[in-house]
Structure 1
Amino acid sequence: MSAQIPPGRVETLSSDQELRLKQVWSHFLKHWGVPVDSAKVLAQENNQKPLSTTNTATSENKPKKGGSKLFGRFRKSAPAPKSEPLHKRTSSVTSQRSAESIESAYPHSLIHESLKNLKPEEVRENFWDMLRTDYPDNLLLRFLRARKWDTDKAMGMIAHTLHWRLKDAQPDDVIRGGEQAAYKNHEEGYVKNIELSKATIRGYDKKGRPIVLVRPKLHHASDQNEEEMKKYCLLIIEQARMFIREPVDCATILFDLTGFSLSNMDYSPVQYLITCFEAHYPECLGHLFIHKAPWVFPPIWNIIKNWLDPVVASKIIFTKNINDLSEHIPKEHIPEYLGGEDTYDFDSYQRPDEACDAKLSDGETREKILAERKEIIQRFIDVTVKWIECSSATESKQLLEEKIAISKELSKNYSQLDPYIRSRSVYDVNGTLKV
């Protein structure tokens, strides 16, 4: 697995990129009521030039010419069939285009207006709750990279995501309740998705990114309602985030279309996943492999590809066999049934015993770790204020290094806190997840 730190992360920032990060933090701190003299860094916003960005299609994301005939055939432009219902061709919640239309209502001058329905303390708490073991700066940098280092657009995207996390999806509640919540709340469709293991997090690709194996042949639209489907999607996304460790900051998805037929096709979860990755989990997708696509798939792909942002589309690779997959994934992490060496039984889900959640009732220890976390966060904020206000490049570099060191403390603190706030999943029980 590669441990190389990519460009555009807190450890590898250019001076211009660091300035944009300072601007984002300035807006957050001002909204939270933290005293900070940010006039100098914010004064440079209006006349900023676009920065080159690392999230455009690169040779790393583009499929290699060898073995790409299938990919090329599927990418030929074709309009949606006339018989296709309008709601399946165009969705109000599908792509980045719809997300950006919302974000456009949040310009720089009205950044506080974008958070008008959220209390500052509510936004502050949710921001720190968004973190798992990732660093605070790298979380914000995902939004900056996704918006090509445009501070205003990045702030709009973050505001949109905070509204979504707090007022709509509540993904933190989903991951903390975990699989047990589905059973306790008697959500039959949600439970069925879990027990069928439609999506399983298993193994890593050659860049150290956790792999989510999705088996659409197990899906039928009638098995669950829309709310249950969304919860299952969020559970898998948030569980995948639990596997990510710095400097890795994204996951890989392997859609195995073995046994797929038209009876398995359901556009709603596809639309929802596109929305999540483009609008709320930017820069969290490494590659998306579509494996063994059958002959019925091209018309479906012609519809789906029109919903995709070009950056996301550039990360999609069609594969046909073990040789294609093994270019990106070590054979020991490819399922045996696909020609690899992983003998894991993907149909063997067992509900974790409720006894595994004993630490959830230990409020005393939880409060002690949370108090330590609060102190670490305050130190991070204090150093961030100094970093924004400092006047020399040397001092800025030293303070940024101090921020990184505190981020590592915060990451370690979350590892200690996790069993006291999150119900154990099948991955905790089988030992593949070690937070």
Structure 2
Amino acid sequence: MSIDKLVIGPGRVETLTEDEEKKLKQVWAYLLNFFGYKVVQPGAYRSISRRPTVTSSIVSNDSKKKNKGLMGRFKMSSLKRSKSIEKLERVLSHHSANSMTEDGFVIHKCFKGLDNNDMYKAFWGFLRHDTPDNLILRFVRARKWDVDNAMVMLTNTMKWRCYEGKPDQIMINGELGCQKDGKEGFMYQMRVGKCLVHGHDRKGRPLANVRARLHHSSDQTTEEIEMYTMMVIETARLMLTEPVDTCDIVFNLSGMTMSNMDYGAVSYMVKCFEAHYPECLGILFVHKAPWIFSGIWKIIKNWLDPVVASKIVFTNTVEDLAKHIDRKHILKELDGDDDFEWNYLEPTESKNGLLSDNKEEKEAVEEERKQIIARFIQKTIEWIEAPDDITSKNLLKEKIQIGRELGDNYKTLDGYIRNRGVYDRLGDITFKVATD
């Protein structure tokens, strides 16, 4: 069978309801105010007779004052408090128990103590070729459209990406960087093919085939297990093309024994998906679970968020898998028709370095990205502060298009900043540089 017709699901920027759109506006207002822009919470302007006059200006990156931002901000044109501003602030003061105001503009308390420049870089680095709105909406959907909870979740992920897990740096360095750094445990996992990102299900979602029998906790350090987990997840993200925005995992437990069980590794994987990669999992297949797994499952299921748990499907035969995956995309070791075999080649500078080291081209693409981001932010602010629903709808269409431009820009930038990996060599990731 061919891939089922791809449909943009609910809760994406292209399919928002009126209430969902308002909540996305709230999230963007929080983010942009923290990044250093002056944005009034959505709906506030409609609650006053006259909006306060604002002007746009660019702030130097050399400024170290709090919340100066990276691309610019809106400033009040006069320090004199008018009656309209006082009324506006009364509207804002009732917005949320989890927000605070600075000069009359709402900043969420989840940002307290954080550096806005670091968080700005973490957000746009997280993006890859996703569109900004749909990236944010993953977190909003995961928290059932509770804006405050979504803000906490998104902020924790930005902190994790910036200061703890650092998956962007792992991806940039790639397999070549891990080899140079002597991460032998990481390289071992690549060599044996512990997880193969290969094929897709009937909805076009990439498949991550985890071969549990190949895992022994003593073969690598905890850090190397975590690095490998992040590399697999981030690599799979590069294989996604909207409207497909989730991946499947096939846990092949055939041949598994207790020596293969590693609660720490499983716990870390669960944490990643639940806390830092929400709404990225399509189906998690647990295939051919041995009798010993029943005791293991009693422990693991208590760690799972109900949403993640609902995506788990237990399968025992190829026919079970074929309900969701065409047999031609099911590996032969799972009794499918795909005869793909893992043949890992050691990374080299020529095969696994950057696609291009042309600095002038890289700078040009990076400058283009900055300009697209600036346009996107400007359009987002106009959309948030739109005076009526018709204007808001038209501005949303424009910003969706700019978001897609940003995604296309990353596909070019990628070749100048990320060392190639095995999936580039296999042709599963096909990004090109400007001169290709």
TM range (shorter): 0.7 to 0.9
Q: Which residue of 1 aligns with 2:63?
A: none
Q: Which residue of 1 aligns with 2:362?
A: 366
Q: 3-state SS of the aligned residue for 1:149?
A: coil
Q: Does residue 1:341 correspond to 2:337, yes or no?
A: yes
Q: Which residue of 1 aligns with 2:395?
A: 399
Query: Offset of 1:117 from its aligned partner?
Result: 3.9
Query: Offset of 1:142 from its aligned partner?
Result: 0.5
Indicate which of 78, 103, 107 corresponds to 2:98.
Answer: 107
Q: 3-state SS of the aligned residue for 2:152?
A: helix
Distance 1:183 1:41, change over 3 A: farther
Q: Which residue of 1 aligns with 2:349?
A: 354
- Deviations, residues 21-69 of structure 1 (Å, cap 9, x unaligned): 000000011011112232625999xxxxxxxxxxxxxxxxxxxxxxxxx
* Maintained 8 Å contact 1:22/1:41: no
Q: Does residue 1:410 correspond to 2:400, yes or no?
A: no
Distance 1:421 1:358, change over 3 A: closer
Q: Distance in 1 between matches of 2:35 and 2:296?
A: 46
Q: Distance in 1 between matches of 2:354 and 2:227?
A: 24
Q: Does residue 1:226 correspond to 2:222, yes or no?
A: yes
Q: Distance in 1 between matches of 2:122 and 2:158?
A: 7
Q: Which residue of 1 aligns with 2:426?
A: 430
Q: Distance in 1 between matches of 2:274 and 2:355?
A: 35
- Deviations, residues 227-262 of structure 1 (Å, cap 9, x unaligned): 111101111010111111111111100000111111
Q: 3-state SS of the aligned residue for 1:35?
A: coil
- Deviations, residues 198-232 of structure 1 (Å, cap 9, x unaligned): 01100111111111000010000101111111101
Task: Give the alignment of 1:44-59 within 5 angstroms.
Answer: none
Q: Distance in 2 between matches of 1:35 and 1:431?
A: 44
Task: Give the alignment of 1:301-316 within 5 angstroms.
Answer: 301-316=297-312
Q: Distance in 1 between matches of 2:100 and 2:410?
A: 35
Q: Distance in 2 between matches of 1:39 and 1:309?
A: 31
* Maintained 8 Å contact 1:360/1:423: no
Q: Does residue 1:283 correspond to 2:286, yes or no?
A: no
* Maintained 8 Å contact 2:216/2:262: yes
Query: Offset of 1:291 from its aligned partner?
Result: 0.5
Any gaps of 5 or more consecutive residues in structure 2?
48-96, 102-106, 432-436
Distance 1:221 1:108, change over 3 A: same
Q: Which residue of 1 aligns with 2:231?
A: 235
Task: Give the alignment of 1:203-218 within 5 angstroms.
Answer: 203-218=199-214
Distance 1:298 1:410, change over 3 A: same
Task: Give the alignment of 1:12-91 within 5 angstroms.
Answer: 12-38=15-41, 40=43
Any gaps of 5 or more consecutive residues in structure 1?
45-105
**Scaled by the length of structure 2, what TM-score is found?**
0.83
* Maintained 8 Å contact 2:46/2:387: no
Query: Offset of 1:179 from its aligned partner?
Result: 0.9
* Maintained 8 Å contact 1:107/1:156: no
- Counterpart code for 1:25: W
- Counterpart code for 1:355: S
Query: Offset of 1:132 from its aligned partner?
Result: 1.4
Q: Which residue of 1 aligns with 2:11?
A: 8
Q: 3-state SS of the aligned residue for 1:344?
A: coil
- Deviations, residues 298-323 of structure 1 (Å, cap 9, x unaligned): 00011100110100000000000110
Q: Does residue 1:173 correspond to 2:164, yes or no?
A: no
Query: Offset of 1:176 from its aligned partner?
Result: 1.1
Query: Offset of 1:365 from its aligned partner?
Result: 1.2
Query: Offset of 1:361 from its aligned partner?
Result: 2.7
- Deviations, residues 335-360 of structure 1 (Å, cap 9, x unaligned): 022221111103x1112332132445
- Counterpart code for 2:400: I
- Deviations, residues 177-201 of structure 1 (Å, cap 9, x unaligned): 1111110000111111111110110
Q: Distance in 1 between matches of 2:321 and 2:12?
A: 28
- The number of aligned residues is 373
Q: 3-state SS of the aligned residue for 1:213?
A: strand
* Maintained 8 Å contact 1:370/1:417: yes
Q: Distance in 1 between matches of 2:19 and 2:236?
A: 31
Query: Offset of 1:112 from its aligned partner?
Result: 4.8
The structure number with the bigger radius of gyration is 2
* Maintained 8 Å contact 1:23/1:41: no
* Maintained 8 Å contact 1:41/1:388: no
Indicate which of 115, 121, 127 corresponds to 2:123.
Answer: 127
Q: Percent identity?
A: 47
Q: Which residue of 1 aligns with 2:50?
A: none
Indicate which of 418, 421, 425 corresponds to 2:417.
Answer: 421
Q: 3-state SS of the aligned residue for 2:419?
A: coil
- Deviations, residues 262-292 of structure 1 (Å, cap 9, x unaligned): 1100001100011111111110111000001
* Maintained 8 Å contact 1:251/1:287: yes
| CA-based RMSD | 1.7
Q: Distance in 2 between matches of 1:11 and 1:34?
A: 25
* Maintained 8 Å contact 1:205/1:329: yes
Q: Distance in 2 between matches of 1:177 and 1:361?
A: 14
* Maintained 8 Å contact 2:26/2:42: no
* Maintained 8 Å contact 1:253/1:287: yes
Q: Which residue of 2 aligns with 1:274?
A: 270
Q: 3-state SS of the aligned residue for 2:13?
A: coil
Q: Distance in 2 between matches of 1:141 and 1:41?
A: 22
Q: Distance in 2 between matches of 1:7 and 1:391?
A: 26
Q: Distance in 2 between matches of 1:15 and 1:159?
A: 25
Query: Offset of 1:115 from its aligned partner?
Result: 2.6
Q: Does residue 1:263 correspond to 2:259, yes or no?
A: yes
